[in-house]
Structure 1
C-alpha cells in the first residue's frame, strides 16, 4: 500500500511539473471574466474560451504603463540579461527606440508624441525541440510600434518557467525587469532528479530572492531609458 501511494504521489508530481514547465504564468488582468457561464450560453464563444485556448498553446499577454518623462527624447533600450548561478554573464541590448517622436493628433495636426505603454505577447518553446525559442512580440503605444525577439533556452535543461516581475519605481538609467525565464533547479524526489521552480508570484525587481539564488540558469527581459538622444545631433 505504501509503495502504491508513493508511486501515485510521484506520478502527480511529474504531471504537475510537466504542466507548469510548458505554460507561462497566467496574468490576464485586463478582463473581468468568470470561470463559468450559464448553461444556456455555453455554446456561445466567450472570453473564457479565448483565455483557455491561449493557455493551452503556451501563449500569454502582459501589459505595462511606461511613465517616461516627456522633457527630452531619451533612448529606450530593451535588453536580455543572462545569469548563471545568479551571476550576470551577458547583457545584450536587443532593440533601441526613441521615447519622443513626431505624430498627428485627432485633427491631423503634427505634434510630439511619447512612448507611454507596452504589451508583450509571449509564446513558450516546445522543450522537446532543443532548437525552439521563447518568442516575444513587443508592442509600444497600443501597437503603433512593434518588434519581435527570441530567447534560446540552454538545451541541457529540460524546461524553463516564465514569470512576471513585480512593478518598480521608474528612474532614468535604471534597469526595469519585465519577464523572468528561469530553468529552476533540480531536487531529489524519492530517488528521482526532477526540475522545479518555487518562488513568489511576482519576482522582486532588484532580483533579491532566494529562488533566483538557487536557480541554475535564467534570463531577464526588460528595458531601461538612458539620458541619450536617440537621434544624435552632431
Structure 2
C-alpha cells in the first residue's frame, strides 16, 4: 500500500471512529441534562466557597469527614463537560440535525418534494446533495459511497420512467445522504463535543456506582456478602 493510500485509510478509520452529530444529538437535545448541569455549576462553587464554615459546624457535631464530598466535586466537573459539549453542539451541529431526527428530516424532504413533484425539482435537490458530497475529501466520500450509489440508481430509474413513486424513492435516498453528510461535518468539533460528553457520562456512572456502594454498605449488604 502506498503512503497516500495509507493516509486515506487512516483518515477513513478516524472519521468512522468519531461519533456523528446524529449520535450526539440525544445528549445535545436532552434538556434535563442541561438544566442539571447549570444548577451544579452554580451550587457547587457556592457550597465550596462556604465549605470552611460548614466544615467547622460539622466538626462540632462530630462528623468524621472534613473535605467537600467527592460526589459534589465529580458532579461539578461532569456539569462542566455537559456545558462544554452542549455549547459545541449548538454552535457546530448543522441546523437540520438539531431540529430533526433522520426520519423527520427524510419525511420533511419528501413532503417538500410532493408539493411540486417534478423531475426538475428532483434534479435541483440531487445537485445540491452531490455538490456537498463532492466538496469533501476522498476519505470522507468513501464512507457514503454505498448510499450515494443507491441514491443515484433510484434517480436514474425515476428519471427514465418519470414515475412519481420512483422519484419519491430517489428523494428519500438523497435525503438520507444529505442527513449523513451533515452528521459527518466538522470532525474536530464533533470529537471535542464527544470528549466533553464522555466526561459527563463517566461522572454520572461514578456517582451512581458510589451511591449504590454507600447504600449497600449502610444496609449491611456488603457484610452479608463477605
Specify which structure has the higher proportion of strand: 1
Asked if Structure 1 and Structure 2 have the same fold, meaning a TM-score greater than 0.5 normalized by the shorter chain, the answer is no
User: Which of the pair has the greater relative contact order for Cα pairs under 8 Å at 6+ separation?
Assistant: 2
TM-score, with structure 2 as normaliser: 0.24
TM-score, with structure 1 as normaliser: 0.23
Q: Which has the larger radius of gyration?
A: 2
Specify which structure has the higher proportion of helix: 2
